[in-house]
Amino acid sequence: EAGVAQSPRYKIIEKRQSVAFWCNPISGHATLYWYQQILGQGPKLLIQFQNNGVVDDSQLPKDRFSAERLKGVDSTLKIQPAKLEDSAVYLCASSLYRSDTGRDEQFFGPGTRLTVL
């Protein structure tokens, strides 16, 4: 089974520029997450989708970040305009419900490493 795909893997931009990241979740996974992982820290949830609807975007800086999941499959995360502090790895994950735990198990993509100069 193919895993979560993300592109690009690396991106370098200057501050105030715009950037977009793409995620293709595992087929059949209804829930999709975007995380921001700053160097030396654990991933922080930015937004969670259930199919094409937003479940939680409480930690998404909405003045500059936006995300969409049209048709409930692929998703894009955009930053416009970027700031220096946005330099991080952006991880996408999709999840599958496990009946033994009653929880969703998340599968992460390799991430996109963003450097803002």
Question: Using CB under 8 A as the criterion, what x/- string covers residues 50-89 for binding another protein?
Answer: -----xx--------------------------------x
Query: What percent of the chain is helix, strand and coil (3-state, nearest 5)?
Result: 5, 55, 40
CA distance 15 to 61: 16
Segment near another protein (CB under 8 A); pick from 11-19, 33-41, 61-69, 73-81? 33-41
CA distance 21 to 34: 10
Binding site for another protein (CB under 8 A): 4, 31, 37, 39-45, 48, 55-56, 89, 91, 93, 95, 101, 103-111, 113
